[in-house]
């Protein structure tokens, strides 16, 4: 077995106490010694001894009392040493022995696993030692059978008294561990929630930045080509670039605000924002055809609205990057229990449609958004075009997962 480092050994043997706790325990030990000493000086014993024999017993018991929280194992050892000295000097049970109950309690409540079981063993061994010491005359032949019931009673009483102290400490130990487990679970849940929120913000950041940059790049290319022949088109393109950049900057600032103040959720895109999204794509020079049939009836869960918006945003961004001259077709079908979303765009070279990456961050984000509300999404090349299909539930499953999309 690998030996413990000195620092680890100290942490195992000695507990970390606050200054006021150390001061209280030290003061309690001194006060106990001052109270116990007069009682011990007047205690009778089985053998005639000088009263001065009470000093080491009281001193050791007071030390065990002062150490009981700082080092339960050391306190247990000092208490056993005090008991051995007490029996060696021939002293009977006295006032100072009440420290044993406090030491057994702390060994069970605050001790290490080894000290915990040493305390339990001390209950059994201690009860037997007390009984043997008190009835030692019976074991050397001077007793009688009439002493046996008394001996058994003393043994059971000692087991009960010592065991009660240790059991109380064990119950406190269980309560402390349960509280620590609850605290650890709360921290783990908070960390998980924070990680999910960071992932959500990163996904939104990707969607916003990728879409906005795609629009800006397309407009910049158009403005460059139109600079000589059509100044008005150039001016319009520059205006679209400025509008798109401002909107992206506003969205990024909102996400950064959420990142700094995670307790407050900012507004999320809804179906009402789709028209602005379509306008940005059309302004970039893409021929966009949108068909909504049937239209949504009644209120749509916020989680579904957000998923539809972000999936369309990413799909249209991909179309801006890789699309050809055939335009983009968007189909939305709002049924009672689901919404079917399809985005189809011809790539710049139909023969390369099968080579389009299916595992990029954008496609992964779309799949995660669909799965988050219990839906499915596939992105596949079909007949020289790239098609994104999503099937999203609009009923109870979506409502149950709405809180995860914030």
Decide if pLDDT at 284 tops 80. Answer: no
> What digits encode the pLDDT tens for the residues 214-243?
777 776 766 666 666 666 666 677 777 767
Angle between helices 147-226 and 361-372 (to 10 degrees): 130
Q: What is the mean pLDDT of residues 317-340?
A: 84
User: Tell me, what DSSP letter sits at residue 42?
Assistant: T
CB 76, CB 68: distance < 8 Å: no
Cα separation, 122 vs 109, in Å, equals 15
User: Mean pLDDT over residues 256-280, rounded?
Assistant: 70
Interval 100-115 mean pLDDT: 94
Exposure b/e, 255-293, CB count within 10 A at least 16 = b: beebeeeeeeeeebbebeebeebbebbebbebebebeee
pLDDT on residue 373? 83
pLDDT at 4: 53
Better-predicted residue by pLDDT, 252 or 81: 81
Residue with the bigger pLDDT between 271 and 233: it is 271
Residue 397 has pLDDT above 90, yes or no: no
- Give the model's pLDDT for residue 306: 85
Task: Tell me what percent of the residues of the chain surpass a pLDDT of 70.
Answer: 69
Q: Which of 141-145, 238-242, 322-326, 348-352 has the lowest mean pLDDT?
A: 348-352
Does 353 score more than 50 pLDDT?
Answer: no
Q: Which residue has the higher pLDDT, 376 or 394?
A: 376
Phi-psi region of 158 (alpha: psi -120 to 50; beta: other; left: phi over 0): alpha
Mean pLDDT of 78-104: 91
Segment 358-371 shows an average pLDDT of 72
- Banded model confidence at residue 281, pLDDT cuts 50, 70, 90: confident
How confident is the model over 293-305, as pLDDT tens digits?
A: 888 887 888 888 8
Mean pLDDT of the chain: 79
What percent helix, strand, coil does the chain show, rounded to 5? Answer: 70, 10, 20
Local confidence band at 118 (pLDDT 50, 70, 90 cut-offs): very high
d(CA 204, CA 238): 25
Residue 77 confidence (pLDDT) above 90: yes
332 has pLDDT over 90: yes
The pLDDT-based confidence of 89 (bands split at 50, 70, 90) is confident
Is the model's pLDDT at 143 over the cut of 70? Answer: no
Give me the numbers of helices (H) and strands (E) for the chain, helices first please.
13, 5
Residues 160-205: tens digit of each pLDDT: 999 999 999 999 999 999 998 998 888 888 788 777 766 776 777 6
Count other C-beta atoms under 10 Å from residue 227's C-beta. 12
Residue 120 pLDDT greater than 90, yes or no: yes
Q: Above 50 in pLDDT, residue 43?
A: no
What is the token pair recorded at 170? 């064990």
């Amino acid at each position: 077995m690998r030996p413990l480092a000195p620092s680890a050994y100290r942490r195992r043997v000695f507990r970390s106490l606050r200054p006021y706790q150390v001061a209280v325990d030290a003061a309690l030990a001194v006060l106990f010694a001052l109270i116990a000493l007069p009682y011990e000086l007047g205690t009778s014993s089985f053998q005639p001894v000088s009263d001065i024999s009470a000093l080491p017993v009281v001193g050791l018991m007071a030390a065990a009392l002062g150490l009981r929280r700082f080092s339960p194992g050391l306190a247990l050892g000092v208490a056993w040493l005090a008991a051995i000295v007490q029996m060696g000097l021939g002293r009977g049970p006295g006032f100072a022995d009440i420290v044993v109950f406090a030491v057994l309690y702390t060994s069970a409540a605050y001790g290490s696993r080894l000290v915990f079981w040493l305390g339990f063993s001390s209950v059994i061994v201690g009860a037997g030692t007390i009984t043997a010491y008190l009835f030692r005359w019976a074991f050397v032949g001077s007793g009688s059978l009439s002493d046996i019931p008394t001996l058994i009673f003393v043994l059971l009483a000692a087991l009960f008294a010592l065991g009660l102290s240790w059991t109380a400490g064990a119950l406190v130990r269980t309560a402390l561990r349960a509280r620590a487990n609850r605290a650890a679970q709360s921290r783990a849940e908070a960390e998980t929630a924070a990680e999910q929120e960071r992932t959500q913000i990163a996904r939104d950041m990707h969607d916003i930045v990728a879409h906005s940059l795609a629009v800006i790049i397309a407009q910049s290319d158009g403005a460059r080509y139109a600079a000589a022949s059509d100044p008005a088109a150039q001016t319009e393109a520059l205006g679209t670039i400025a509008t798109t950049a401002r909107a992206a900057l506003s969205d990024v600032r909102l996400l950064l605000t959420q990142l700094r103040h995670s307790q407050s959720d900012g507004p999320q895109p809804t179906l009402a924002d789709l028209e602005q999204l379509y306008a940005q794509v059309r302004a970039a020079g893409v021929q966009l055809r949108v068909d909504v049939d049937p239209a949504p009836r009644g209120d749509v869960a916020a989680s579904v609205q957000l998923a539809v918006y972000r999936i369309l945003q990413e799909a249209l961004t991909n179309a801006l990057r890789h699309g050809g001259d055939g335009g983009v077709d968007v189909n939305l079908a709002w049924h009672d229990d689901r919404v079917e979303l399809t985005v189809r765009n011809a790539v710049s070279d139909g023969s390369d449609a099968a080579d389009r990456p299916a595992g990029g961050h954008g496609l992964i984000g779309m799949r995660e958004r669909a799965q988050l509300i219990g839906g499915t999404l596939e992105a596949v090349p079909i007949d020289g075009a790239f098609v994104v299909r999503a099937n999203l539930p609009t009923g109870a499953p979506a409502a149950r997962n709405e809180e995860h999309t914030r």
